[in-house]
Amino acid sequence: MNNTTKRIVILLETDFRDEEAIYPFYRLQEEENISIEIATDQKKTAFGKFGFPMQGTIKLEDLKENDFDCVVIPGGNEGPDRLRMNRDVLNFVMDMYNKNKLVAAICHGVWIPISAKIMKGKVATCYRAIIDDLQNAGAIYQDEPVVVDKNIITSRHPRDLAPFVKAIIDFLKNK
């Protein structure tokens, strides 16, 4: 990566899929020039489906597109379902997309870009239970471990974490 620090934020609500937050959080820290924030409601500790705690470092309502180069959205069904009802989160994701910054979502996390209305005409993947949601949003579904369409990266499920995070790193290296 170039010498400019890339700022990444991971969006979390309680009942996120533990490994879909933990793996990107630690793996991306191994890269030079990356800083990571965890956005939660009121900077609370969010607990994963399997109980792993992740402490918020920034409030969801304080997210500003100018502060970040990438947003990572883990799945977990209930966590993303809560996030997509938060207007601040949807506006932030839409702003990131509109400024050509990276929006990366895995599993049910794809619900957030769907609800932010940025998926129409995009090629993407997601967890099989929400394929209809993705297609109803106007996206073109591909059953692949990871799909990159310009500044949107999507992935299916936890088994695809390695190629998902590699695609994030590759994108940031070329920015």
Measured distance between the N- and C-terminal CA atoms of the chain, rounded to whole angstroms: 9
Nearest C-alpha neighbor of 27 from the set 61, 63, 59, 74: 74
Strand partners, 71: 9, 103
Contact 16, 23 (CB under 8 A): no
User: Any idea which residues carry the catalytic annotation?
Assistant: 107-108
The residue count for the chain: 175
Give the list of residues 6+ apart from residue 52 with CB closer than 8 angstroms, or none: 18, 21, 22
Phi, psi dihedral angles at 155 (to 5 degrees) = -145, 160
Tell me if residue 5 falls in helix, strand or coil.
coil
Tokens 């920015």, residue located = 175
Sign for the pseudo-dihedral over CA of 99, 101, 102, 105:
negative
